[in-house]
Every structure is written in C-alpha cells, then in structure tokens.
Structure 1
C-alpha cells in the first residue's frame, strides 16, 4: 500500500529524528562530563564476528588459564543482543585513570611494593557503576527507553564495543588505546532500547611500534594483538589461585598486584590526563607501600586496610603470596624475620611462598636450620605436598 506521505514529508521526519537523536547525544556527553567521564560514543548492538572469533581462539588455545567463566560465557559475549535481545544501542563510556608520574619508576625500589595504577584508587567498579546509573537514569527519563548498565560485571566485550563506538582501538597489548587519552582507560556501558546513531569506529594507529610487546617482563604476547594470560603478571597475581610458577617469580620483581609495563610505555600516553582530574578517589597509601607493612597483615588487618579496594577481592592469602615473591626479589635482609614467622602460617599458599622468599634471602646453612626445626627427626611437620616441594627445592638450590 502506497504511503500518503510525500518525499518532502519523509525527509522532514528523518531530519526531525536526527535532530532529536543529536540532542540526546549532546545531553549524554554533557552529563557524562559532569560525572567525570572522559569520553562517550555509541556502538551498534552487533560487534561483528571478528571479536568473538578472537575470543574463541584465545579459549581454544587455553590462554585464558583458570578463568573458566570466559569459556563458559564466550557464546553470550559474541553479541550484546545475546545478553539482552531488546538492546538497540550501546552507549560506551571511558574514564581516564592516568597517573601523575611514571608508574615504572617504583620498580627500582625493591623493598617497596609496586601496585597496578588502577588499584591505587578506590574500586573502579563501584565508582563507575554508581555514576553510570546516574547517567542512565537521566537518559532513560529523557529518552523514554529502558536501560541497563555494565562495568566488567557481565559477559560484555567492552573493548571491541569501545572500538566499534570510536573511543579507541585495541592495541598490540590487547588493551584499548585512545589518540586523546592513551592506554589508561576504564570502560563502562549503557545498553538501551533507544535507537541512537552509531559513531564511526576507530582504526588502528599502532603502526610499527612494538614498545608494549618488548616491555612485557614475562613475554606474555605470543604475537601482536595476542596475549597468553597464563604468562601475564596481572593474571598471575590476581586471577591465579595457586602458587606462582617458578619461571615467573624472579621476573615479577616487586609487582604485588597487577602489572602496568605494557600500558605505561605506550607513546599515546602523552595525551592522557591525570586521574585526579577525572574525579577518581586515590589511595595515597598505595602509591609506594613497604613490603614490611604488608608482611605483617593478618586476615582482619588485610580486610581493614583494603576496604573499598579491588585488592580485597583476592583475599589475604593470595596477596601475601605475591608480597612474599616480591620479598624474595628484594635482597632486603631486614625482611627475613617477618618471612620466618610466616613459615607456620595457616595457609599453605603463604607457607610455600615464605620458603621461596627465605631461600633467596638467607644462606643455605640458615635454611637447613629452619628445616631442622620444621621437620624434627625426619617426621613431616608439613603435610602440604606443594609446600614440601618448596622445601626440597630450597634445600637443594645454590644460594641466590
């Protein structure tokens, strides 16, 4: 049946809708800026097959390590509409968390801990999600559609969506890079039933640069744009629940939570803003903390110190494991008594790491004295096989 509308009327209707959509987007950007977001752009609710194919290959090769949820949710991650069939637009938001100084400078201070830049602030999940809810509420009230917000808490492929929206491109280190804000970006999304005009996808501007790949201390990049999480210090110190594999311990240095090396060397960081300008809440006591302070933490002390911090999520035992590896790399003899006290810690994860740290800090004769006290008359006072294996290695390795 022919339309009663003339071509001129159709054109006027499209123009009016475009104007309304433009006003909505301007409103969103203005409100987002007041909440501390660095940038905002719109992606279509379909990111295409390439991103899901990369994820499938990543899982197929086992590079996700023990992060089983990635394998379990990879099909749902393939499309925003798999998560919410009614979604018509995805509003992607970025918040810059760039540090004021080079975070790699702290790697030379072996008796102090290096904490990933993002974890030196209050938990970004809580900060950003609260602000996303404020923005989504205002948008929903004005646009009349339904909304849902996500911040790394659902099977959403934030980086491919941010790339599709034009906020940046996925660099050779597999993180998002922005020509305006560098590699220091938190991402969040608002799914909506409102149809908005998508922005233009960003193109790759890495060129021939390999700085991020060369900077990785554990060679976690098999090739540009590919990452093996099992070799990544961020994975090893945060997601990994067991002992740190021996081949990576010395290369961890004093990194006790995450690793910023590949991000910090990105040349595009010269455009990044400081986190304080982005309304984040910094933890000054995590800028350059001492290893000694952390070695003395019991569970209650750990929970109190890291209240509101993303570090709290890994628990005291995994955290102490990381701190002890850093201690073993510190060459700081003043930390030996604290390490010795942890040989009887209730957690085998902590005990095993304490053995390794002491084997790096004390001479073989002292390790034999400690072992004699631990294993009287050949009777095993250590019932955990992994801790016993650490003792066997410690007693048979040359002094480091």
Structure 2
C-alpha cells in the first residue's frame, strides 16, 4: 500500500539516508533511460570481448534493459560510494618484492558492505512509500555504469569506467529499483574531450578503441576472471599486479578533484596494502582463506591467486624468491606448478633451470605443465 509523500520529501529521505550510510552521491533515473546500452553490450559480447565470462552472454537480455530484469520497476536510485586511495596505486609497482592488489580489493568486500546499506535505505523507502524495491550490487545483471551516467553521477570514460567531476574514477556503484515514481535527475555529459591518458596507461593495450574494452587483454580479467594459465604474451606486462589493475583509473586527470575515502566507512584491510610476495607464495588453502577473510580476493581461490603471485615473482628479479617458487613445483595444483615453471625460468640461470627440469619432469604428467616446461626450456636455450 502506497503512503502519500511528496517527491521533495522522498528525495530528502533518500539523500539523508544515503549520506548516513556512507554514500558520496545519489541520483535517480528511469528504467528506459539507457536505450543505447543494449546494442553496445551486444557488440561487446558478439566480438568476444567478454572472454570466458559466459554469464554475460547468458544474461544478455536481462542485462540489456532494467525492465527486462524487473518489469515492475518505475524508478532506479543509483548510489555511489567513494573508494579513492590516499596515494597513487601505481607507485607500488616499483616495489618488486611486493604484490599490487587493486585498490577496491584492499577493503572489505564491497558487495557485502554496500548491499547491507542499500537494504537499510530501501527498507526506509518502503516504509514511507509502500510498494516494492529490489537492491543490486554488481553481481546481478544490471548495467550500473550507464544507469549512473543517465542519473547524472558521472559519465563512462574512454576506459569504460564511470568518471565523476567530484570523485574521479574511484566510485563503487549500487542501485535500488523501486515501484515508486520519483522525478529523474538530468544525465551527465561526456567530459573526456581529447584526453586519452587512460588508454595510454594500459600495459596490455586492452582498449582497441576509445570506449571499447577487450577484457581478454585486461589485467583485471587475466588475474581475476581467467581460470587458466595466464597467456605468455601478458606475463611480463603484468609486473607485480597480483589482483586486478588500477592503471587506467589512476591515470584519469579528473582524479585531481577526488578525495581519499574514509577507511572506516570502507572497512580497510591494512595487510593488503603492500603484501610481501614471499609471504603470499607460502599460503596453502587454509592460510589463504584466513588471510583474505572478508576481502573479494578470496573469491578467486588460492590456486588462481598463487598463480598470479608466481607471475609477479618471475618479474621481480629477486633471488630470494627462488626457493619459495621451487617449492611450488610440487604443488597439488597444475595451475600453480605451471606458473612456478615460468617464474623459475626467469629467476635462475639456464643450467640450474635445466637441472630443475630434469628432476621435475620425471614425475610431471599434466599436459599444460609439460607444455610450460618445453616452452621455458626453449626460451632459456636449456636442455634436459
């Protein structure tokens, strides 16, 4: 049952509760406000730019239009939470004995943080207006960035992420779908101009054109979504990035207006700011789960994560990492063993590597790991 409340009073309620919950900005749009998004999404999937993210193709229809996901929706409230770092995250890439974890993942899992707060706000809206609501944070088939642009919170930059005049490229997004009729805000306009700093900053050339991302070349995709070995052509370019990549975000000139986020609001996890590669290489499954408890990093699992750390180790030129990498040649995971082969091929000289191969190949049966040995031996000019 709908309760009588003026649009002004409802907006004041939404803004007050959003601020109280730690959101930096909030605006409203209509479910039909992103008419160009379906075709762009279809092209992205049609070109195969989604890589192994099959769920994007499977949810194409529901993702393309909010009303396809929930026909009863009348208004969409888009909320943004600032997660801006206090320093340029690219500075960590010079510390080759450390792992660079994407800024967003150094805090408690934003899905949990934001969804709980959205539910609180949604509950208060229903209490005042009646009707029904649904809340979404990233994992549902909702195109948050086009909706945020339509609501006026920012615009999708050439790196395809949302850019704000107030917060740069550092915003988490969440949405509240409601059956309440709320006057929409004016959309934001594209303010990128001739700038292409974000495109130039990408280590792997993941942008075939402005506003287009080939996820298969993106370090965030390669270290998070990709479940197999990291393709050889990208390994050196990954550097010490062990979970995600912030380069295109950090390069955006609009970040000069951004303020560092409150760590208290985001539940920052300090141990994840500059973790030592040696410590991370030693993680078994239980230790991995404990160390990343509450972090989104935990979702990719220990084996995929240690694979990433081994790539960083191989790029480190740090002789102190040879023993930890060598210990992983006997790991239960073929994914880990294969990455250990590559790391050691970069850390030890050819004769020592050949000796390692002679010992390991007597027991190795996995075809992918055997292929890693063959490729590395050829690259090193070593013989078994």
TM-score range relative to shorter protein: over 0.9
Q: How does 1:132-143 map to 2 (within 5 A)?
A: 132-143=118-129
Q: Is the 8 A contact 2:5 2:129 kept in 1?
A: no
Counterpart of 2:135 in structure 1 is 149
Are 1:36 and 2:22 counterparts? yes
Counterpart of 2:81 in structure 1 is 95
Q: Which of 317, 326, 331 in structure 1 is aligned with 2:303?
A: 317
Are 1:332 and 2:318 counterparts? yes
Q: How does 1:201-350 map to 2 (within 5 A)?
A: 201-276=187-262, 279-350=265-336
Are 1:389 and 2:375 counterparts? no
Q: Which of 96, 100, 109 in structure 2 is aligned with 1:114?
A: 100
Write the distance in 2 (CA, Å) between the matches of 1:313 and 1:217.
25
Q: SS of the counterpart of 1:279?
A: helix
Distance 1:100 1:201, change over 3 A: same
Write the distance in 1 (CA, Å) between the matches of 2:189 and 2:381.
51
Q: Which of 47, 54, 59 in structure 2 is aligned with 1:73?
A: 59
Write the distance in 2 (CA, Å) between the matches of 1:128 and 1:44.
22
Distance 1:87 1:382, change over 3 A: same
Bigger Cα displacement from structure 2, 90-99 vs 270-279: 270-279
Task: Give the paired residue count.
Answer: 380
Superposed displacement of residue 399, structure 1 = 7.3
Are 1:192 and 2:192 counterparts? no
Distance 1:288 1:277, change over 3 A: closer
Q: Deviations over 1:64-112 (max 9, x none)?
A: 0000000111111121111111110000000010000110000001110
Distance 1:43 1:72, change over 3 A: same
Q: SS of the counterpart of 1:195?
A: coil
Distance 1:278 1:161, change over 3 A: farther
Q: SS of the counterpart of 1:49?
A: coil
Q: SS of the counterpart of 1:91?
A: strand
Q: SS of the counterpart of 2:193?
A: coil
Q: Which of 347, 357, 380 in structure 2 is aligned with 1:398?
A: 380
Superposed displacement of residue 19, structure 1 = 8.3
Distance 1:117 1:41, change over 3 A: same
Write the distance in 1 (CA, Å) between the matches of 2:139 and 2:240.
29
Q: Deviations over 1:306-354 (max 9, x none)?
A: 1111000000000000000000000000000000100010000000000
Write the distance in 2 (CA, Å) between the matches of 1:189 and 1:256.
29
Instruction: Give the TM-score normalised by structure 2.
Output: 0.97
Counterpart of 1:356 in structure 2 is 342
Q: SS of the counterpart of 2:81?
A: strand
Write the distance in 2 (CA, Å) between the matches of 1:177 and 1:144.
34
Counterpart of 2:48 in structure 1 is 62
Q: Is the 8 A contact 2:34 2:150 kept in 1?
A: no
Larger Rg: 1
Counterpart of 1:14 in structure 2 is none
Superposed displacement of residue 278, structure 1 = 7.2
Are 1:178 and 2:178 counterparts? no
Q: Is the 8 A contact 1:359 1:399 kept in 2?
A: no
Write the distance in 2 (CA, Å) between the matches of 1:109 and 1:101.
14
Superposed displacement of residue 277, structure 1 = 6.2
Q: SS of the counterpart of 2:172?
A: strand
Q: Which of 124, 138, 153 in structure 2 is aligned with 1:167?
A: 153
Write the distance in 2 (CA, Å) between the matches of 1:235 and 1:295.
21
Write the distance in 2 (CA, Å) between the matches of 1:215 and 1:262.
6
Distance 1:121 1:61, change over 3 A: same
Give unpaired runs (5+ residues) of structure 2: none
Write the distance in 1 (CA, Å) between the matches of 2:251 and 2:381.
34
Write the distance in 1 (CA, Å) between the matches of 2:297 and 2:246.
15
Write the distance in 2 (CA, Å) between the matches of 1:189 and 1:312.
24
Are 1:26 and 2:12 counterparts? yes
Counterpart of 1:6 in structure 2 is none
Distance 1:399 1:130, change over 3 A: farther
